Amino acid sequence: MADTNGTNGAHGRPDIERRPKTSEPLQRSAFRAMVQDFSPIWFAWCMNAGIIAILMHQLPYQFHGLPVLSTIAFMIDFVLFIIFSVVMLLRFAMYRGQAYNEICENVPDLGLLACWPIAWLTVTAFVSLTVSEAHWGSHAFTIVAYVMWWFGAAWVISTAVFVLVTNTRRHAIQDRELPPMVFIPTVAVSTLATVGGLLSSFSSEISARLAVPVIIISFWAVGVGIFLAMIIYTMIVHQLFSKGWPAPEQSAGMFLLVGPMGQSAAALQLLGSAAHQYGRFGGYNKGTFLTETSAAPLEVACILLAFLLSGIATIWLILAFICMIDRAVKKELSWTPAWNSTIFPVGTLITSLSQFSVEMDSPFFRVMTAIGLVWLIILFFVNLGFTAWKILKGELLIVKENPRAKQELAEQKEQ
């Protein structure tokens, strides 16, 4: 009989009193689940669509309809960037300290935070390459792309510094496996330089006065990207020699190692071309360095250095493929969101090959660029299929069962 004072008696519901309490609800709405768990890794979709669009735009083999396909890919990049940015901002607005701390305490997510400004830079490339060249766009959108690039420069550098400082203050990684995502801030800095080269070369009616400061800062960014990546490469190589391949779920992250060198090579080629072939240094003509005379040997030096960088990038690409094959042979390979890292880093190296095809009028590099682009498109749709399947199963993006509450319940049971 129930207690008349309103409390549970012996035959009431004592399970209510004993039910563990958590600070988080165990079940959430689909909207809250998406916002609360949203990770910066989703911006990789913008990056991947963007690099495919750039390669289509610059492909040595142009055919009727390819510019339209490039614009469609760029629009996918733009729309996804808007949607993901809104969700990311909502996460910080609704969950504030929790969102900030969860990203800062997670080393992979901290590195992935640089995907957001990289995605912004791919949209900048869209405005520069496509919109400014449209009959309704012209020079006005060159100025838009120019402003976007400088905003992206501030965003990329501040993000890279924030990631370095936070890793230094909050994490001691020497006894743990260093995730490949730590390379993404270095890729971001090099991407700033690559987009700077595209902006300085192909934007409609851009003047030397506007282009030269972008070229100079882009060269500076290449230096940051290369040398910071070299420091991290030493740690990764030591880790590979001492511990072997990354964990199976992180195996696809090996492709991230291609990014710093591949993107830096492409950046140097584009910047050297902007300075010499497109006459930005000659049009500026100040001092001893910013002149037409120095632009020609500068471009040659950039091409030579790009060969060196693309060489080591190719080695990393081969190692990444071997890692994936090794995992597949051992039946340890399964799809994870980390597979999104197989597209953008490889795309940076293919961008460099595309530039080599022009600089040397090489059929070999033209063919390799086309094959590489087709491969990236196939990977894009493979990832799309697996992602849609995981979302429909409720295992990705919208997971209504709150993992934080589950963790609290597990900890309470252990106590």
Q: What is the pLDDT of residue 275?
A: 95
| Structure confidence at residue 402 as a pLDDT band (50, 70, 90) | confident
C-alpha of 25 from chain center? 32
DSSP for 276-330, please give it: TTT-HHHHH-BTTTBSHHHHHHHHHHHHHHHHHHHHHHHHHHHHHHHHHHHHHHT
* CATH number for the domain that contains residue 55: 1.50.10.150
Is residue 120 scored above 80 in pLDDT? yes
Q: What is the pLDDT of residue 2?
A: 42
Where in the sequence is the domain holding 102, given as residue range(s)? 26-395
| Structure confidence at residue 5 as a pLDDT band (50, 70, 90) | very low
Q: What is the pLDDT of residue 62?
A: 86
Among 199-208, 235-244, 271-280, the minimum mean pLDDT is found in 235-244
Q: Is residue 9 part of a domain?
A: no
pLDDT in tens, 90-119: 999 999 899 999 999 888 899 999 999 999
The total of structural domains in the chain comes to: 1
Q: What is the pLDDT of residue 3?
A: 45
pLDDT in tens, 336-359: 999 999 999 999 999 999 999 999
Among 9-13, 59-63, 131-135, 177-181, the minimum mean pLDDT is found in 9-13
Whether 195 contacts 181, CB under 8 Å = no
The C-alpha atoms of residue 405 and residue 67 are separated, in whole angstroms, by 49
Q: CB 134: neighbour CB atoms within 10 A?
A: 11
Q: Is residue 411 part of a domain?
A: no
Q: Is residue 1 part of a domain?
A: no
Q: What is the pLDDT of residue 405?
A: 80
Q: Is residue 272 part of a domain?
A: yes
324 CB-near residues (< 8 Å, 6+ apart): 251, 252, 254, 333
**What one-letter code names the amino acid at 80?**
L
Among 126-130, 172-176, 223-227, 348-352, the minimum mean pLDDT is found in 172-176
Q: CB 2: neighbour CB atoms within 10 A?
A: 12
Q: Is residue 379 part of a domain?
A: yes
| Structure confidence at residue 312 as a pLDDT band (50, 70, 90) | very high
Please indicate whether residue 149 or residue 406 has the higher confidence score (pLDDT). 149
Whether 274 contacts 201, CB under 8 Å = yes
Is residue 21 scored above 80 in pLDDT? no
The C-alpha atoms of residue 363 and residue 15 are separated, in whole angstroms, by 75
Q: What is the pLDDT of residue 200?
A: 95
pLDDT in tens, 278-303: 999 999 999 999 999 999 999 999 99
The C-alpha atoms of residue 345 and residue 342 are separated, in whole angstroms, by 7
Q: Is residue 401 part of a domain?
A: no
Is residue 1 scored above 70 in pLDDT? no
Q: How many residues does the chain have?
A: 415
| Structure confidence at residue 216 as a pLDDT band (50, 70, 90) | very high
| Structure confidence at residue 11 as a pLDDT band (50, 70, 90) | very low
Q: Which one, of 23, 46, 36, 175, lies nearest residue 122 by Cα?
A: 46
Q: Is residue 20 part of a domain?
A: no
Whether 117 contacts 162, CB under 8 Å = no
- In this structure, what are the phi and psi dihedrals at residue 290, rounded to the nearest 5 degrees? -85, 60
Q: Is residue 414 part of a domain?
A: no
Share of the chain above pLDDT 90, in %: 73
Is residue 183 scored above 70 in pLDDT? yes
Q: Which one, of 109, 89, 121, lies nearest residue 41 by Cα?
A: 109
377 CB-near residues (< 8 Å, 6+ apart): 52
The C-alpha atoms of residue 339 and residue 180 are separated, in whole angstroms, by 12
Q: What is the pLDDT of residue 161?
A: 95
Please indicate whether residue 242 or residue 171 has the higher confidence score (pLDDT). 242
Q: Could you identify the residue written with the tokens 């020497």?
A: 174
Q: What is the pLDDT of residue 174?
A: 52
The C-alpha atoms of residue 355 and residue 352 are separated, in whole angstroms, by 5
Is residue 15 scored above 70 in pLDDT? no
